[in-house]
Each structure stands twice: as C-alpha cells, then as structure tokens.
Amino acid sequence: MQFFNGIDLGESGNHTAHAAIERVKLPVPKIRQKYRYVVRFLEEFELGIHYPEQIDRLKETLSHDAFANARVGADYTGVGRPVIQMMRKQKVHPGLVPILITGGNAATWDKESQGWHVPKRDLVGTLQILLQADLIAWHERLPAARKLEKQLQNFKVRITKSKN
C-alpha cells in the first residue's frame, strides 16, 4: 500500500489540511483510468495553530509506518515557502516535495526548490474528471469529510485574463 499525501498550509485565515490517499488498481480500467483513489486519512487543523506546532504534528503523523514510503506534496504558494524550508530542516518526511500552484500552461520541475510548478487548471481539471467518473472515494466518518464533500461539490474553475 502506498500513500500520496497532500498538505495545504494555513494558519490564521485558512486551515491547514492534510489528506492521505491510497491508489487502488481497478480490475478493469474506467475511462482509460487504471486506478481509483481512496482518501484514508483526512485532517483539518484548527485555526490559529502556529507553523512550528503544525510541523510537529505533521512530522508525528507522517512518521507512522504506513507513510514510510509515501509521497508528500505540500503547497508552497504564498507564504508556504518558508514553512517548507522549516519542514525540510525538521525532516518532516523524506518524500516531501513542494508544489507551487501557478497560472501557467504546463507542469514543470523547478531545480532550485526541488519541487513542481503546477497549473491550477491541471489540478482542478484532473480532480473534476476523477470526481465525475467516481474514481475518488472516502469514508463519511473521516474527520472533515462532510466539509471536503461540500467543497468539492462547489469546486469551479475560474478563468482570468492574463495581464500580458
């Protein structure tokens, strides 16, 4: 079992959220997709928890044996960059990869940050396809499950005109 972890950092105005997803091979591909994604862990931190405490909690959670070979992506858009630096210094997880959400046209690897720059439209589009094809699942008793479901139902792509 391999987990893919996603961390969205926040502190005072937005919650930090951590989700662990297992990729499960389908017996028969569905709309050319070979896998279904099952949310196995979901946590939303209370507002106001400062980053050092959040990092300690994430480190403790990610030290669980189930996450030993996990991939861990953390959004470092905005103020996330220094938090990612703190997470690396604290050795939160060896599989930590920063992800910068952009308005670009293609996902690119950034050598300097050792992370990905990923267009928001790619993230949103992929998520919408997986949701519409019923290829994402989670148990309703997971913490924050109802909130996640509501957010995903209201998830929309906003297209803005480039200033260039």
pLDDT digits (tens, 9 = 90+) for 145-154: 777 777 777 7
List, for residues 6-49, the tens digit of each pLDDT value. 999 887 788 899 999 999 999 998 888 899 999 999 999 999 99
pTM metric for this prediction: 0.84
- Tell me phi and psi for residue 109, to 5 degrees: -90, 130
DSSP-derived 3-state class of residue 156: coil
Angstrom distance (rounded) from CA 114 to CA 98: 7
Note whether 90 and 58 are within 8 A (CB). no
